[in-house]
Amino acid sequence: MRSTGFRHAVAVIGVCSLALTLTSCASGDDDSASGKTRITVNCEPPRSAKLDRQFFEEELASFARQNPDIQVEAHDAFPCEDPKTFDAKLAGGQMENVFYTYFTDVEHVVDTGQAADLTPYIKELKSYPTIQKQLRDIYTVDGKIYGIPRTGYSMGLIYNKKLFAQAGLDPDKPPTTWEEVRADAKKIAALGNGVVGYADYSAQNQGGWHFTAELYSQGGDVVSPDGKKATIDTPQGRAVLQNLHDMRWEDNSMGSKQLLVINDVQLMMGSGKLGMYLAAPDNIPILVKEKGGTYRDLALAPMPGGKATLIGGDGYMFNKKNTPAQIRAGLKWLDHMFLTPGKGFLGDYARAKKHDAPVGLPEPRLFTGAADAKDQQIKKANANVPVENYQAFLEGNSKLQLKVEPPNAQQIYSVLDGVVSAVLTKKDADIDKLLKDASGKIDGILARS
């Protein structure tokens, strides 16, 4: 599921439509006549995202200067991956030489036979071992490497420090359990004047996404390890729904307006009318730049529950039609753009600070070991946001199990949306029946996959 900000995206508009031939996107021609290896890539930010576009184009120019034997053609569109066209492009062999994917796409792309095996070339990517292993593993299927992570995020609790203080709560001690979330939400809602203590999504598959995150946080899971059966009809699943029911109907700490989606909740938080909601760190710049919030008031806590946090993110895979030269060129491009601490499209913190872009958010955090230490040092030196507001998140989430989204995530989330929305809109909702019925539907989805 999309978090928000750094999960940019690309369904290539105009430059590479589905009606064009394969050579329009994933060309097998190394352009030997000019002595250059030519590759196409996607996920170039659209022109409407002026600053991101500028940074991306600057890095393309820098790469070209350093690699005169490689020609990179970047395709511009938003989002990077459009579910309406992704499968059609994949099946038709229309993908770029190097193409963007969500973590949840990997096995599907491999199953279709459209991904190049990068294993024979991976030793040439010297930065590969510096990427966090749990992120690398997402792109490894049956022992073979099919992609390179670009970013990663984990879920946490965004909260308003100003409202915490007004409610008599310690803004430097956010809740770490769901019992504490409920208690704090009740106190915040008691402030009145339209203030809501805790908000959650319950529409457009986003309710199912958050149900999954909340289930993980309590040690539960959505599907069995073999991916064949639903595992939501459990004590942990009931605990998630019971907690939402009680906050909504007994405490009245979630407000009366429900069937909310991400934009609704962001508007509430940005306007200072919401105490807490689940999100990834990339929500914070949106809350400030688009929704009226301030960095000073917005803080991050670890995922409540203490068991696990849902992670997501994106990366690049390679077209199976690529020549060896194109694979090597694509790996060099990724290394330059995303895999060098303190440099590249996402990592040049000095450049970002110069243009007043936020520097100092705890994620994305791609690297490990010495590379991570270097990246964090450069980030800290250029920070222009209150990094102390995110320390609890960094310390708490580092102790949690990291869990990816379930298989067939969007279909499953659609089912779970109905469960969450029923609990939040019907005081007498039968939680046991909702979980039983949803389990049957999810079993059907898994059986067909």
Q: Which residues pair with 115 in a beta bridge?
A: 319
Spatial separation of the C-alpha atoms in residues 311 and 149, rounded to whole Å: 13
pLDDT classification of 11: cutoffs 50, 70, 90: very low
Spatial separation of the C-alpha atoms in residues 319 and 338, rounded to whole Å: 19
Q: Which residues pair with 149 in a beta bridge?
A: 315
Q: Is the pLDDT of residue 314 over 70?
A: yes
Residue 250: CB atoms within 10 Å: 11
- Cα 325 from chain centre: 31
Tell me the three-class secondary structure of 337-371, residue by residue.
HHCCCCCHHHHCHHHHHHCCCCCCCCCCCCECHHH
Please enumerate in sequence order all residues whose Cβ is within 8 A of that of 198, keeping only pairs 6 or more positions apart, or say none: 181, 182, 185, 188, 247, 253, 254, 274, 275, 276, 277
The angle subtended at Cα 390 by Cα 388 and Cα 392, nearest 5°, is: 95
Domain architecture of the chain: domains with CATH? 22-152+312-381 (3.40.190.10), 156-279+408-448 (3.40.190.10)
Q: What is the pLDDT of residues 392-405, one digit of tens each?
A: 999 999 899 999 99
End-to-end CA distance of the chain: 19
Q: Is the pLDDT of residue 31 over 60?
A: no
Q: What is the pLDDT of residues 260-280, one digit of tens each?
A: 999 999 999 999 999 999 999
Q: What is the pLDDT of residues 60-116, one digit of tens each?
A: 999 999 999 999 999 987 789 887 889 999 999 899 999 999 998 999 999 999 999
Residue 128 has what DSSP assignment? G
Spatial separation of the C-alpha atoms in residues 310 and 44, rounded to whole Å: 27
CB 266 within 8 A of CB 287: yes
Among candidates 18, 1, 199, 168, which has minimal Cα distance to 93? 18
Percent of the chain with pLDDT over 70: 92
Which two three-digit tokens encode residue 143? 């022992």
Q: What is the pLDDT of residues 170-198, one digit of tens each?
A: 999 999 999 999 999 999 999 999 999 99
How much is the pLDDT for 346? Answer: 94
Q: Is the pLDDT of residue 16 over 60?
A: no
Q: What is the mean pLDDT of residues 201-218?
A: 97
Q: What is the pLDDT of residues 228-242, one digit of tens each?
A: 999 999 999 999 999
Q: What is the mean pLDDT of residues 209-237?
A: 97
